[in-house]
């Protein structure tokens, strides 16, 4: 697919049959995994970049930057069939690394600026507590990045980080108390997502400017 795109562009007659061939490969993998119902499997299909009408990439046009991202659950539950992604239009590419790390129960890459995508975890059958656990690790990982970018301004987030630690410890020790914001999952989700989004929004432009200078 990549070779045809570069050589002949996205409108080449050679591309549709090649895409169909790749569709068949994904379908084959899906059916094999689907037949093993005892195994919880997830297929992720994504592109690393798009292309211009001429087949090149590396610029900032939408056709070069926007790519599809598919999460295919081979053993969907009732929760996953409700399509938690329906309210999402776009996902930042930097969010893919922490999300995949959380799905595989691996540490988030040290220099990742991304935020965990909760809808992806929900789609894979994660419980609310498991999603909050992923948020917790993402907050501390991203805070380390923030401190390295702004070593003299880290005190700005200290108060919220302490709040994260308090909430995380409390929710694992005491059952949810109705009406209390500490144990209100909706409140906690918004708090974590707001904090993560804010840190990413501050750090990412600095990282991009450093990358441009290096390259």
DSSP lists the bridge partners of residue 71 as 44
Please name the residues in contact with 36: beta carbons below 8 A apart, sequence gap of 6 or more.
Answer: none
Residue keyed to tokens 């590396």 = 58
Query: Is the pLDDT assigned to residue 211 strictly greater than 50?
Result: no
Contact of 134 with 100, CB cutoff 8 Å: no
**171-210: pLDDT as tens digits:** 555 455 545 545 567 778 888 888 899 888 888 777 666 5
Contact of 121 with 131, CB cutoff 8 Å: yes
CB burial readout 111-149, b (16+ within 10 A) else e? ebbbbbbbbbbbbbebebeebbbbbbbbbebbbebbeeb
**83-105: pLDDT as tens digits:** 666 667 788 889 999 999 999 99
Query: Is the pLDDT assigned to residue 79 strictly greater than 70?
Result: no
The backbone torsions φ and ψ at residue 64, rounded to the nearest 5 degrees and listed phi first, read: -90, -30
Q: What is the pTM of this model?
A: 0.78
- C-alpha–C-alpha distance, residues 107 and 117, integer Å: 15
């Amino acid at each position: 697919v990549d070779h045809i795109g570069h050589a002949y562009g996205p409108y080449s007659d050679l591309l549709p049959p090649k895409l169909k061939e790749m569709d068949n490969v994904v379908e084959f993998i899906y059916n094999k995994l689907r037949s093993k119902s005892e195994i919880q499997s997830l297929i992720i299909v994504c592109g690393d970049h798009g292309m211009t009408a001429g087949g090149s990439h590396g610029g900032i046009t939408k056709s070069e930057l926007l790519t599809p991202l598919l999460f295919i659950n081979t053993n969907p539950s009732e929760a996953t069939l409700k399509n938690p992604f329906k309210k999402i239009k776009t996902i930042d590419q930097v969010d893919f690394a922490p999300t995949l790390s959380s799905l595989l129960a691996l540490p988030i890459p040290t220099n990742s600026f991304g935020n965990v995508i909760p809808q992806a975890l929900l789609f894979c059958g994660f419980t609310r507590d498991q999603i909050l656990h992923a948020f917790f690790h993402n907050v501390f990982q991203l805070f380390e990045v923030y401190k390295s970018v702004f070593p003299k301004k880290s005190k700005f987030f200290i108060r919220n980080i302490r709040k994260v630690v308090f909430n995380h410890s409390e929710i694992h020790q005491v059952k949810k108390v109705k009406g209390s914001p500490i144990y209100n999952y909706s409140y906690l989700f918004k708090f974590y997502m707001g904090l993560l989004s804010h840190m990413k929004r501050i750090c990412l432009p600095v990282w991009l400017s450093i990358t441009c200078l290096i390259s």
